[in-house]
Copies of this chain bind each other. A is one copy, B any other.
Amino acid sequence: MSSAKHAPKSPFPFELVNGHLTEIEKEIRAQADLFEQEVRDYFTYVCDTSGKRIRPALSILVAGALGNCNREHHRLGVILELIHLATLIHDDIIDGADTRRGAPTANAKWGNSMSVLLGDCLFAHAMTEATAFDDMKICRKIGKASRDVCTGEIIQTQRRFDLNLEREGYFRIIEMKTGALFAAATELSAALAGASESEQKSLYTYGMKLGTAYQIYDDCVDLVGQEAAIGKTLGTDLQRGKLTLPVINLLEAVSEEQRAAIEALILADEPLDATALEGITDHRDALTAATLTASELLNEARSELLFLPRNESKDALAQITYYLDGLLADCASK
C-alpha cells in the first residue's frame, strides 16, 4: 500500500506512547519464535525495514483516552501491524519497488515468489493470533478490514489509467485500502476498552477520516515530490496509472482542450512537467484543493473526539490531526 511511502519519519512524536510502542515492538519481534525456523530471518528483516507502527500507536492512544489500556490492546496493535507488513510486502511486488525506507524490499532480496508466500504466511499468522481475543467479533472485524484493504487495492488496480475515475471512486478506494485498517485500530481498541457502541462508532469514524486524510497527503507528496513544485517531479502513482485527488481536481478544473492534452500525456506515460502545464493557471489550485479536502477530514476526525474526557492520550489523538494538517500545509506551499 502506498500509504507508507512518503510519510514523515516520526508521525507520533508523543512521549506517552513511547513506552507502549517499545513494548509492542518487542512483542512484534517475539512473533518470530512462532514461525517455523526457516521463516524467522525473513520476518525479522521485514520488521527491520518496514512499518512505522502507526496502527499500534492509534490503538494505544485510544485505549489511553478511554482510561483502560491492557494486554489486549497490545495484541491488537501487534496483529494490525503484522497485517500491515503483509500488505506492504505484496504492494512492493505489485509496484515493482526495489527499496523501502532505504533498504532493499523483500522482492528485491528474495524474488517475487518468496515475497508472495512470505506475505501470505504473515497474514495467516496474524489471523491465527486474532483468534486469541475473548470476543470473536474482534477477530471478525480484523478479517473484514483486511478484506477491505485487498478489495480497495483490487479496485485501484482495475481503474489504473481510467481517466474517468471520479472523486467518489477515488474515496471508495482509499477508504478501503488505507482507512479500513486505521479505523479497525481505533474502533476495536475502543471495543476492547469497554466503550459503548456509539463511542466505538465515533472512534471508527476518527480512524477512517484520519486514514483517508493520511492517504490524500501521501498522494499529494507523491505528486510534488520531496522538494520540487508540482510539474517538476512526476510521481510514481501517475506512472502506474493511479489517478489521485490532485490529478482528479486538475482534470476537472481545466478546459476541455487542456484536459485532452493532459490525458494524452498520462496515457502516453509522459511527465506532467512545466511545459505540459504551461498556461494551466490552476494546476497549483488542484493540489491546494486536495490538501484542503484532507484538512476538512482532519477537522471532522477531531470532532469525533469531543465525547472523550480530557487527558494526555485524547490530546495526542487530536495532536496527530494537527501534525498531519501542518504537513499538508507544507505540501501545498511547495
**Which residues of A from 132 to 160 have beta carbons under 8 Å from B?**
132, 136-137, 139-140, 143-144, 146-147, 149-151, 153-155, 157-158
B128, B140, B155: the one contacting A36 at CB < 8 Å is: B155
B140 touches A121 (CB 8 A): no
B154 touches A131 (CB 8 A): no
Q: Is the CB of A114 closer than 8 A to any CB of chain B? A: yes
Query: Of all chain B residues, which has the CB nearest A96?
Result: B113
Proximity string of chain A (29-41) to chain B, C-beta cutoff 8 Å, 1 when within and 0 when not: 0000001101100
Query: Of all chain B residues, which has the CB nearest A149?
Result: B124
Query: Of all chain B residues, which has the CB nearest A115?
Result: B116
- Chain B residues lying within 8 Å of A132, measured Cβ to Cβ, are 140
Chain B proximity of A305: nearest CB distance (Å)? 29
A113 touches B94 (CB 8 A): yes
**Which residues of A from 10 to 62 have beta carbons under 8 Å from B?**
35-36, 38-39, 42
Q: Is the CB of A123 closer than 8 A to any CB of chain B? A: yes
Q: Quick one: given A123-B124, A124-B123, A136-B131, are A151 and B36 in contact (CB under 8 Å)?
A: yes
B36, B127, B144: the one contacting A143 at CB < 8 Å is: B127
- The docked-state distance in angstroms from the alpha carbon of A310 to that of B295 is 70
- The docked-state distance in angstroms from the alpha carbon of A117 to that of B86 is 12
B112 touches A90 (CB 8 A): no
Q: Which 4 A-B pairs have the closest CB atoms?
A: A128-B143, A121-B150, A124-B147, A131-B140
Which residue numbers of A lie inside 8 Å of B, CB to CB? Answer: 35-36, 38-39, 42, 87, 90, 93-94, 112-114, 116-121, 123-125, 127-128, 130-132, 136-137, 139-140, 143-144, 146-147, 149-151, 153-155, 157-158
